[in-house]
Amino acid sequence: MDKMTPPERFQAVLMGEKPDRVPVVPFILGFCTKIVGMPLGDFYADGNKSFEAQFMSMRLYGYEQTPMYGYASCGPWEFGGKVGFPYGEGHSAPYVIEHPVNELVDIDKLEVPDSDKPVGGFVEAQKLCDRCVEMGMPGIFQGGSVFTAAAVVAETTKFLKWMKTEPKSAHALLDKVSQMFINQVEYFVNRYGADKCVVFDGGPVEANTVISPQKFEEFAFPYMMKVHKKIREFDIPVTLMHPCADQNLNIPYYIKMRESLNWKGIYAWIFGPETPLKTQIEKFGTHDIIGGNVDPPSIQTRTYQEVVQLCKENIEQGIENPRGFILCPGCEFPPLAEPIKPMAFIDAARQFGVYK
Amino acid sequence: MKILGVSMVSKEEILEGLAKAVIDGDEVKSEELAKKSLEIGIDPYESLMNGCNKGMAKVSDLYELKEMFVPEILLSADAMYAAIDILKPHLKVDASAKKPAKVVIGVAQGDIHDIGKNLVKMMLEVAGFIMIDVGKDVPVDTFVKKTIEEDADIVAISALMTTSMMYMEPVIKKLKENFVKAKVVVGGAPINNDFANKIGADGYGKDAVEAVKVSKKLVGV
Ligand code: B12
């Protein structure tokens, strides 16, 4: 049986101590609207509702994930474009209606929001974080990825081509997007204090199914460095990293970032199922917390028993990570999975994740 | 050497040059070579098949090998379209030939991932299909309506998410309900052969090259 409460368990891992068992952070976002009977659109359109749904789900299941706010198409709204919320049939997350950048000249016109107030999605993030911090939980908000945000601030295929045809403009856009993130992070740090903040950084467009590691080095890495340098200066203790999908060829740059910034905080890594836990432990395990990477589609398409088995395999590979392990899926928990599926994670952690 | 008025050396050079321009994503060069090919009397069909298509096939191979990535492929596509635009008006229309097959292509409901769909569309276009692009986040009824309207031979549906792939089967069912004979081809990262069979699709392709193969097979090319 559990010997610690969820906050105690999570705190233990953060402090580098052994908890009673592996904590579970199921990366639940849209999924929890089903638990409370809320339209999925509300979850992203209103930070308060997002908080309530996540808080209820967290209490119901007793997992260690605390509420957070973010989505992959972050960026356009903050720069004056338009995003749609997932109210429509089949929708699963916010989507871009109007890219602020459609032509090269639009890049010059972009105004970088400053750090005195939150903008776009950060307004909703602040509502959620206010409630979290008030209750003693961290405020978790988005601080990237710069590359994915730039790729949706601009019309995506155009941005991808500009890296080759108009590299200067691509850099100018990335620079503005990185400054937007820095300013918004600064706003949250000023509001709550750095020790209450957790930055979430990650995105899918830098996956190697889309760009080469050379392009990552040239266009993603410098701006990720720029933001993280600031995170370090602010002294934010924990940064959640989610290199989404297959980013195996980008791993050397993530290592380089940690090394060249002489990182003193903790990174918690949630790579996709494409990156073996063994590799992650080898590359980051002595300094950082490793999150699991249970295959997200399988959570929806397979049975409870099969998901427990997948979690068991994940736990066995990760539990001995020197700096700690938490059980996670390799990306967002599928919003359409059955309500029993988060239980599969918790049951697996209780059965196979106990520290002797 | 000249045969039938065409200089052989420069013909080969031009076809190879076209293929290379496509691989390099060099729009200016491919346009220039397409024009040149017409000037010296190369059959535009040959330029298309042994120049552009050859280049694009190489591009697919390099993507498979992780030696080329999406930004580079997008530029290759631009280079290829630039050449096609010049060559197309000069293609001889063979009255006895079968009319090219028509494909309605789109991304399943709720899904905005369209990079893969665009690549598949491009490869099918190169292979001679007439493409009707219905875009992304496409409702089930739109697929059905457009297929009937266009009298399409194939419906190609792309889905990148476990949520959106659930909207493939309803398209297939509705097509059947409406007695539409068009074949359905599905693809996208979470899709596999088993899933395609289970929902009653006529074909599945793991990438754009396979998309062309199955589509050709389905229409008997
Ligand atoms: C780029 C990307 C994005 C970009 C998309 C930009 C765009 N305009 O397309 C952005 C940032 C906008 C994005 C957003 C989101 N994404 Co996304 N994204 C990706 C990523 C990394 C790559 C997709 C891609 O373009 N690949 C490159 C192309 C060339 O490959 P492809 O699409 O697979 O296509 C090839 C084949 O599959 C095949 N094919 C494709 N279609 C068809 C059709 C036919 C008929 C045939 C025969 C073949 C075929 O041929 C193609 C060419 O070879 C994938 C990861 C992955 N592994 O796929 C995640 C992924 C698809 N995203 C995911 C998620 C969760 C999201 C978000 C919900 C995140 C969020 N919470 O906000 C949002 C969804 C927004 C929405 N409302 O739909 C998940 C989906 C998980 C699931 N539920 O199944 C993935 C799998 C990441 C992951 N590891 O979990 N994303």
Q: Which two tokens stand for residue B24?
A: 């390099």
- Is A291 touching ligand 1 by the criterion CB < 6 Å? no
Distance of CA A297 to the CA centre of its chain: 18
pLDDT at B153 over 60: yes
- The answer on B173 and B147 residing in a single domain is yes
CATH number of the structural domain spanning residue B80:
1.10.1240.10
Of B36, B69, B90, the position where a domain reaches its end is B90
Q: What pLDDT is recorded for position B7?
A: 54
What's the CA-to-centroid distance between A40 and ligand 1, angstroms?
20
CATH number of the structural domain spanning residue B163:
3.40.50.280
- The answer on B106 and B214 residing in a single domain is yes
pLDDT at B6 over 70: no
Q: Which residue range is the domain that position B33 belongs to?
A: 11-90
pLDDT at B28 over 80: yes
- b (16+ CB within 10 A) / e for A69-88: bbbbbbbbbbbebebbbbee
Sign of the torsion formed by the C-alpha atoms of A249, A254, A256 and A259: negative
- The answer on B110 and B84 residing in a single domain is no
B184's CB contacts (< 8 A; 6+ apart) are B154, B155, B156, B157, B168, B171, B172, B175, B200, B201, B202, B203
Q: What pLDDT is recorded for position B92?
A: 77
- Is B40 touching ligand 1 by the criterion CB < 6 Å? no
> pLDDT per residue over B116-150, tens digit each?
999 899 889 888 899 999 999 999 999 999 999 99
CA distance, residue B39 to nearest chain A CA (Å): 29
Q: Please, which residues 291-310 of chain A have a Cβ atom closer than 8 Å to chain B?
A: 296-297, 300-301
Q: What pLDDT is recorded for position A205?
A: 97
User: Mind listing the domains of chain A with CATH numbers?
Assistant: 6-352 (3.20.20.210)
The number of the ligand 1 atom at minimal distance from the alpha carbon of B73 is 29
Residue B97 lies in a domain: no
- The answer on B130 and B75 residing in a single domain is no
Of B69, B90, B111, the position where a domain reaches its end is B90
> pLDDT per residue over A150-184, tens digit each?
999 999 999 999 999 999 999 999 999 999 999 99
- The answer on B128 and B201 residing in a single domain is yes
Check B137 against A95: CB less than 8 A apart: yes
Of B55, B90, B125, the position where a domain reaches its end is B90
CA distance, residue A86 to nearest chain B CA (Å): 8
Q: Whose CA is nearest to atom 25 of ligand 1?
A: B115
- The answer on B107 and B57 residing in a single domain is no
- b (16+ CB within 10 A) / e for A275-307: bebeebbebbbeebbbbbbbbbbbbbbbeeeeb
What's the CA-to-centroid distance between A142 and ligand 1, angstroms?
20
- The answer on B52 and B106 residing in a single domain is no
- A351 touches B: beta carbon within 8 Å: no
With H, G, I as helix, E, B as strand and everything else as coil, classify residue B133: strand
Among the partner-chain residues A164, A208, A209, the one whose CB lies closest to the CB of B71 is: A164
pLDDT at B3 over 60: no
Asked if residues A241 and A268 have their Cβ atoms less than 8 Å apart, the reply is yes
Mutate which: B62, B67, B163, vs A, most A CBs within 10 A: B163
pLDDT at B58 over 70: yes
SS3 assignment for chain A: CCCCCHHHHHHHHHCCCCCCECCECCCCCCCHHHHHCCCHHHHHHCHHHHHHHHHHHHHHHCCCCCCECCCCCCCCHHHCCEEECCCCCCCCCCEEEECCECCHHHHHHCCCCCCCCCCCHHHHHHHHHHHHHHCCCCEEEECCCHHHHHHHHECHHHHHHHHHHCHHHHHHHHHHHHHHHHHHHHHHHHHHCHHHEEEEEEECCCCCCCCCHHHHHHHHHHHHHHHHHHHHHHCCCEEEEEECCCCHHHHHHHHHHHHHCCCCCEEEECCCCCCCHHHHHHHHCCCCEEECCECHHHHHHCCHHHHHHHHHHHHHHHCCCCCCEEECECCCCCCCCCCCHHHHHHHHHHHHCECC
> pLDDT per residue over B154-207, tens digit each?
999 999 998 899 999 999 999 999 999 999 999 998 899 999 999 999 999 998
Q: Which has more pLDDT, B217 or B6? A: B217
Q: What pLDDT is recorded for position A226?
A: 98
pLDDT band at B10 (very low <50, low <70, confident <90, very high): confident
Q: Output the pTM of the full model.
A: 0.94
Residue B74 lies in a domain: yes
pLDDT band at B2 (very low <50, low <70, confident <90, very high): low
Among the partner-chain residues B75, B111, B189, the one whose CB lies closest to the CB of A161 is: B75
Check A89 against B110: CB less than 8 A apart: yes
Check A90 against B78: CB less than 8 A apart: no
- Beta-strand pair B154-158/B102-107: parallel
- The answer on B111 and B79 residing in a single domain is no
Tokens 């596509």 belong to: B77
- The answer on B83 and B106 residing in a single domain is no
Residue B3 lies in a domain: no
- The answer on B209 and B110 residing in a single domain is yes
Alpha carbon distances (Å) from B8 to B11, B40, B46, B54, B87 = 5, 10, 13, 18, 19
Q: Per-block average pLDDT, block size 10, for chain A (356 residues)?
A: 91 93 97 95 98 97 97 97 95 96 97 96 98 96 97 97 97 98 98 97 96 98 98 96 97 97 95 97 96 94 96 97 97 94 98 95
Mutate which: B65, B112, B122, B169, vs A, most A CBs within 10 A: B112
With H, G, I as helix, E, B as strand and everything else as coil, classify residue B176: helix
Residue B6 lies in a domain: no
Chain B residues touching residue A212 (CB < 8 angstroms): 66, 69, 72
pLDDT at B95 over 80: no
Residue B4 lies in a domain: no
Among the partner-chain residues B69, B118, B137, the one whose CB lies closest to the CB of A210 is: B69
- The answer on B81 and B133 residing in a single domain is no
CA distance, residue A233 to nearest chain B CA (Å): 34
- A76 touches B: beta carbon within 8 Å: no
Counted domains in chain B: 2
**Predicted complex ipTM:** 0.92
Residue B30 lies in a domain: yes
Q: What pLDDT is recorded for position B94?
A: 66
Residue B22 lies in a domain: yes
- The answer on B26 and B131 residing in a single domain is no
Q: Please, which residues 42-71 of chain A have a Cβ atom closer than 8 Å to chain B?
A: none
